[in-house]
Chain A
Amino acid sequence: MARTRLPVNGRTLAQLAAATTKTSAASVVRRVPFPYRPPTVPAGVEPKRPEPKTGGNYDTEWARSYPARLARVLLVEGLVRPAVELLAAPTIKGVDRLLDTDGPLIFAANHHSHVDTPLLLSTLPEPWRHRIIIGAAADYFFGSRLTAPVSALVIGAIPIERSRVSRKSSDDAAALIDEGWSFLIFPEGGRSPDGWGQPFRGGAAYLSLRCNVPVVPIHVEGTSRIMRKGSKVPKPAPTTITFGTPMWPTDDEDSRKFAARIEAAVGQLADETATDWWTARRRAHRNETPSLQGPGSVGAWRRTWSLGDRSPKRRRAKRAWPDLG
């Protein structure tokens, strides 16, 4: 029988194929020459690392384009809001305090739960609700290529570095505020680990000072009952969101002092929610507002124990009016 002649390179391949039958696939790859594989680095040389596209560097510009904003409005109004209504049944208080204000605002809220964000997104008053950016932890929300675009689109988040002061984060945020975007930030820098608040960081105060925009303190109550840090399945529970009066930094305040004042304001709102406005005001003037951070320097059990006092039952006045007979 007659054998056709193979071309030269055909022969090479045939030889290669014959070789593979004898060795592993890995050995073939190893034998692939340089242009076909990454170079090796010579000793003593530090190559320049490419900038990661996730985390603090994730570019969210596209999420503020009109199609994305429209999609977000639809998502928030059509999906998030009904879900929040079912899950959190929010009572919203103090919106009238914002009525004298226009232009961008920085909303600073306490933080207990992942529910806080959708809750606030769907309850912030107009016109701010649909022109809002959320400062979200760069490592948590923008950590992967999957979560980053979701965070950007769904909650309109921009990444904020919480582990270190990042110039880029604050520059980005400031630029957006200057453009007229409002900013929602949780100055505690993360969800409460134990139900008590954490010290407020300076971000909101810094942005306020830098962009000359007032800060609106917000107290969110009840979301820890829905889903606290660590829990996986949300349980429906009623919530109360109390908006405070917009605050301007005074002339002699730096961002640290201002942040402390914002924290105090949120504390007073918490007091207002737990008792009533008049009681809260009187305690505030006497410097007796209960701290958001709970009792310090006591045993852990006592912190947890006193947490019980703070979860206000639904206050329902039995009789709104004196009995006139």
Chain B
Amino acid sequence: MPRPGFVLEVDRSTPPILFHHGEQFRLEKLPPGRSRVIYPAEPLEPLEDIEGAIRDALLNPLGDSQPLPSLLKPGMKLTIAFDDISLPLPPMKRPDVRQRVIEQVLDIAAAAGVDDVHIIAALALHRRMTESELRHALGDRIYDAFAPHGALYNHDAEDPDNLTFIGATDRGEEVEINKRAAESDLLIYVNINLVAMDGGWKSTATGLSSYRSLRHHHNVQTMQHSRSFMDQHKSELHSSNWRMGKVLRDSGVKVFQIETTLNNDVFGQDGPMSVLQKREWEWGTRDRLAFLAMKKGLDKLSPKARRQIFHSWKAPHNVTSVQAGEVEAVHERTTSHVYEQHLVPIEGQADILTMGLPYICPYNVNSIMNPILVMCLGLGYFFNLYRGQPLVREGGVVIMSHPTPWEFHPVHHPSYIDFFEQVLADTTDPKVIEDRYEKQFAEDEWYRHLYRTSYAYHGVHPFYMWYWGAHGMQHVGRTIIVGGDTRAVRRMGFMPASTLQDALEMATDVVGRDATITHVHNPPILMADVT
């Protein structure tokens, strides 16, 4: 029986705590008496029979949806959209749950005599998926059957001929989505709901939309009013997407939503990485040896080799639930499953929030974690993984640990480089950045070209990364990055520190000497329920 997450009060017997530090690790002693560590729950038991569960979900949908077979008719237009490379993290071992679900969906469609099927990677403004990434997500059978006929492809948010303007919400938010999806008799969206932010109407309204539509909720105003964007009911991001969902529904776009949840088994129950999801006082001899060997070994390697090793890791996390049917009914059930794995209750806010940032975030799968992504992972994702109120008090300090190298993947993140070199050299204020630069980047022809034909994130994507951290930047008084490249950290308006002790000292002039500390022991992912 997996143990739930819990909060540890650090005392003098507490061993040093594991901090992820990019493609490396740190063991840090936290000050006893005033520090707490939040541990995630152990991985939930996966479903015994995943194929059976998928079949069951498709045949017995939630909400006012009919079973899938009765929605499929010969001669219809069917479109299947699926979450892109940003999910799950790290990528899962084969077979990917998207493959399992879509194979079953297709088999039912084949039985129903549906011929016209398109399969679309719903990547919005993310980079296109490569052939091998698509093969990993969907399996070779689907790839070989659809890709050669141009029926499996990446969504292109910059192709005016393949976008349809649906309408506007009562607040004037324009809804524009993929034309094929809009014109299909049925749109099936296959989700992996790794965190509570994912899924619901956000799938279609964001994943298949364009800049014209996205700018209405991917902006500073919205992000600063999403507290947090992981809590659907207090998230302006979600309210906006839900309004857009209503427009989609009213305009006759018929969506059959499939959502799946995974457990927390990121590093495996045994094997070399398993020590990373054990609690430090339970590290056995073998775990300690594995950790030491890993740490020393990594020290000897070049950053590139290290990155290759980490990015080749396929996580054994497995499916804990499958829901299908009407979007909102499905999403409600899914969210409860996500919470079941992630939510850890904790009382009160701390003065200082510490976090060890791992090597991966949603936007650097098979790529480089550049400084902007470090910011986004720390102040965007980790900071926002709360329900109720932030883990750190207003005006408090966030200390994150990551090497933050001044390094970018030129193919994947070309606009990031310009954003970092030019925009951040001018200002780090999200609002100013939005007003002064967003439009230029969003409409830059070269970024557009690279997004559409190469494997580049859209020109405006680094802005969204910065907006993702807007709530965090507004809330905290100081951000310190331990072990970060001095120039890169400064460029972002943060403070570099060489050790955690230094960082804690630097925090004292913001929060005083006896500041309380909360450390989130993430990954595996946890979400704090702060009261």
Chain A residues near B (Cβ < 8 Å): 93-94, 96, 99-100, 272, 276-279, 281-282, 284-286, 315, 317, 319-322, 324
Q: Looking at chain B's contact residues, is the secondary structure mostly helix, strand, loop, or mixed?
A: helix
Contact partners of B95 in chain A: CB under 8 A: 96, 99
Closest chain-A Cβ to B387's Cβ sits at a distance in Å of: 35
Please tell me which one of the listed residues A94, A277, A324 contacts residue B159 in the complex, with CB atoms under 8 A apart. Answer: A324
CB pair A96 B452 closer than 8 Å: no
Q: How far is the CA of A272 from the CA of B131 in the complex (A)?
A: 20
Q: How far is the CA of A320 from the CA of B152 in the complex (A)?
A: 9
Query: Which A-chain residue is minimally distant from B131 (CB atoms)?
Result: A320
Contact partners of A94 in chain B: CB under 8 A: 141
Interface residue B113 (Cβ < 8 Å from any Cβ of A): yes
CB pair A93 B140 closer than 8 Å: yes
CB pair A278 B146 closer than 8 Å: yes
Please tell me which one of the listed residues B110, B117, B147, B148 contacts residue A285 in the complex, with CB atoms under 8 A apart. Answer: B110
Query: What 10 new A-B contacts, CB under 8 Å, besides A285-B111, A322-B153?
Result: A96-B95, A99-B94, A100-B50, A278-B106, A278-B117, A279-B145, A285-B107, A317-B147, A320-B148, A324-B452
Query: Which B-chain residue is minimally distant from A93 (CB atoms)?
Result: B140
Interface residue B150 (Cβ < 8 Å from any Cβ of A): yes
Contact partners of A286 in chain B: CB under 8 A: 113
Within 8 A of A (CB), among B112-170: 113, 115, 117, 131, 139-142, 144-148, 150, 153, 156, 159
Q: How far is the CA of A281 from the CA of B145 in the complex (A)?
A: 10
Max chain B CB contacts within 10 Å: which of A272, A276, A284, A286? A276
Contact partners of A322 in chain B: CB under 8 A: 150, 153
Contact partners of A282 in chain B: CB under 8 A: 110, 113, 115
Contact partners of B50 in chain A: CB under 8 A: 100
CB pair B147 A320 closer than 8 Å: yes
Q: How far is the CA of A321 from the CA of B152 in the complex (A)?
A: 8
21 contacts between A and B (CB under 8 A): A93-B140, A94-B141, A96-B95, A99-B95, A100-B50, A276-B141, A276-B144, A276-B145, A276-B146, A277-B142, A277-B144, A278-B117, A278-B141, A278-B142, A281-B106, A286-B113, A317-B148, A320-B148, A322-B150, A324-B156, A324-B452
CB pair A324 B453 closer than 8 Å: yes
Q: How far is the CA of A286 from the CA of B112 in the complex (A)?
A: 9
Query: Which A-chain residue is minimally distant from B156 (CB atoms)?
Result: A324
Interface residue B443 (Cβ < 8 Å from any Cβ of A): no
Please tell me which one of the listed residues A277, A315, A321 contacts residue B153 in the complex, with CB atoms under 8 A apart. Answer: A321
Q: How far is the CA of A324 from the CA of B50 in the complex (A)?
A: 37
Q: How far is the CA of A47 from the CA of B195 in the complex (A)?
A: 81
CB pair B150 A321 closer than 8 Å: yes
Please tell me which one of the listed residues A285, A315, A317 contacts residue B113 in the complex, with CB atoms under 8 A apart. Answer: A285
Closest chain-A Cβ to B227's Cβ sits at a distance in Å of: 39
Please tell me which one of the listed residues A96, A100, A276 contacts residue B99 in the complex, with CB atoms under 8 A apart. Answer: A96
Contact partners of A100 in chain B: CB under 8 A: 50-51
Query: Which B-chain residue is minimally distant from A96 (CB atoms)?
Result: B95
Q: How far is the CA of A100 from the CA of B117 in the complex (A)?
A: 27
Q: How far is the CA of A203 from the CA of B502 in the complex (A)?
A: 73
CB pair A96 B51 closer than 8 Å: no
CB pair B94 A281 closer than 8 Å: no
Please tell me which one of the listed residues B110, B131, B159 contacts residue A281 in the complex, with CB atoms under 8 A apart. Answer: B110
Closest chain-B Cβ to A21's Cβ sits at a distance in Å of: 83
Q: How far is the CA of A320 from the CA of B150 in the complex (A)?
A: 7
Closest chain-A Cβ to B418's Cβ sits at a distance in Å of: 23
Query: Which B-chain residue is minimally distant from A277 (CB atoms)?
Result: B141
Q: How far is the CA of A100 from the CA of B94 in the complex (A)?
A: 10
Contact partners of B153 in chain A: CB under 8 A: 321-322
Q: How far is the CA of A93 from the CA of B94 in the complex (A)?
A: 13
Contact partners of B107 in chain A: CB under 8 A: 281, 285
Chain B 371-415 interface 0/1 with A at a Cβ cutoff of 8 Å (1 = within): 000000000000000000000000000000000000000000000
Closest chain-B Cβ to A230's Cβ sits at a distance in Å of: 33
Closest chain-B Cβ to A253's Cβ sits at a distance in Å of: 19
Closest chain-A Cβ to B168's Cβ sits at a distance in Å of: 28
Contact partners of A319 in chain B: CB under 8 A: 150
Contact partners of B148 in chain A: CB under 8 A: 276, 315, 317, 320
